[in-house]
A and B are shown apart, each in its own frame.
Chain A
């Protein structure tokens, strides 16, 4: 088993990371559109969890059976399933694979729930290393304002209510996201995530993203023609 393997598959993997409301999904969608228009074989890794894992996760959440440990492990199970059945086959087939959130989300979230940072990193060491990973950095207040405009109320685990920091969902969400941001900031240098300032205009952010993706794709082409 390779650990955080620099994969040798013909495909390329780009991932976006950031807290809710950072605008990462919008940016990934725009990248997808552009790559398609450029004629690349690009796949947005839409994930349909296998039924058995999905049912377990759903039941655990609905009945609030999950502890930080089982929350972490059931999501790691689901991620492994995604890796084995979806991402790796796509990369083998030579696709450009786009993922909205990757292992770094799990690192930040699980460590914010109190799990051992080194252990969580080890747990996910089977994951393929992305060709490029983007972190959309945004002040907490900005993201929360965006979320409030878009939706009403947070879910139990999403708001970190399982940690019992406070009973107020909004306040709990804020505290939990604050912890997650702290973890992300440690992950960025450690795993070489490319930081995008998510307070910039959407177009500027997209330009920065495309530039980096393009450089990686060109390098890939060069590698292929090399003897």
Chain B
């Protein structure tokens, strides 16, 4: 059973969504996609069917958003609603069918990034939250937290400053470094508010990727296990805030001991193929863009 943050979209049945919705949030360049790739592999090895998805990947709008960003032509309310359309399309056509089919849905960002971006661009925080209130509450949100001083070297030495990630549409300065610093500082501030409001599980994103992965793995294991005993309430998340116990084994860096899957999870895994086929017939293929767009 899933719930939303407010309204329910027409025709959206929430009672039979048996899969898990797991969100990885964090600002630009913090290493979300690296972690998701690792998590997907790990979860599949454990026998879970995984759908990984992210912002601006919808079949309906994804390409349009990319084009809009190239031209920098859309106003801030327009862009926010364009993202909202994309999100709704993915929610209805990918996320919900996959959850219904029992998948673990790993999503690279969720409404929280969209909310933070919109607020940093001066939109009414209450309005933005209400617009996105049709979103399904995730089973867990892991927030990869980093300070702007730690973030900057990562970005500089990998891909460099990007126009949008530097908020060049927000500030008047032409100095991309200055703009990046200001924009990301504002974004991180918003994330701190959201982390409290929506009960994120906060993970320190400064250690090496492997250590972050282990913390994520521990957190996700709890989410998957917890579910077999009781229906998880999305807001019931006080369980993990990187418990101190997680620190100790990391010092030894032990080989990842695959946690024993509870029986029902194992059973679910057996019929993974059937579920996948069922889901695939519902999930629209978004990777194959049609040439007409």
A residues adjacent to B (C-beta < 8 A): 1, 3, 50-53, 55-56, 59-60, 65-70, 73-74, 76-77, 80-81, 83-85, 113-116, 118-119, 122-123, 125-126
Contacts and interface: CB of A to CB of B under 8 A. Distances in A.
B59 A119 contact: no
Given A53-B64, A126-B77, A68 B134 contact: no
Across the A-B interface, the 9 shortest Cβ-Cβ residue pairs:
A114-B10, A84-B75, A73-B85, A77-B81, A1-B124, A116-B7, A80-B78, A56-B64, A80-B77
Nearest to A117: B7
B3 to A, nearest CB: 15
Interface SS, B side: helix
Interface stretch (B125-133, B188-196, B218-226, B265-273): B125-133
Contacts of B88: 67, 69-70, 73
B130 A52 contact: no
Interface of B: 6-11, 59-61, 64-65, 67-68, 71, 73-78, 80-82, 84-85, 88-89, 92, 122-124, 127, 130-131, 133-134, 292-293
A114 B10 CA distance: 5
Contacts of B8: 116
A119 B130 contact: yes
B60 A59 contact: yes
30 contacts: A1-B124, A52-B65, A52-B71, A52-B74, A53-B74, A55-B64, A56-B64, A59-B293, A60-B60, A65-B59, A67-B10, A67-B88, A67-B92, A70-B60, A70-B92, A73-B84, A74-B60, A76-B81, A77-B78, A77-B85, A81-B75, A84-B77, A113-B10, A115-B7, A115-B9, A116-B7, A119-B130, A119-B134, A122-B127, A123-B130
A3 B131 CA distance: 14
Given A59-B292, A67-B92, A84-B75, A53 B133 contact: no
A68 B292 CA distance: 23
Given A53-B64, A70-B60, A81 B10 contact: no
Nearest to A163: B10
Taking each of A55, A60, A73, A122, which has the highest tally of chain B beta carbons within 10 Å of its own beta carbon? A73
Nearest to B6: A119
Contacts of B64: 52-53, 55-56
B11 A3 contact: no
Contact of A52 (B67, B80, B292): B67
B111 to A, nearest CB: 13
B122 A1 contact: yes
Nearest to A125: B127
Contacts of B59: 65
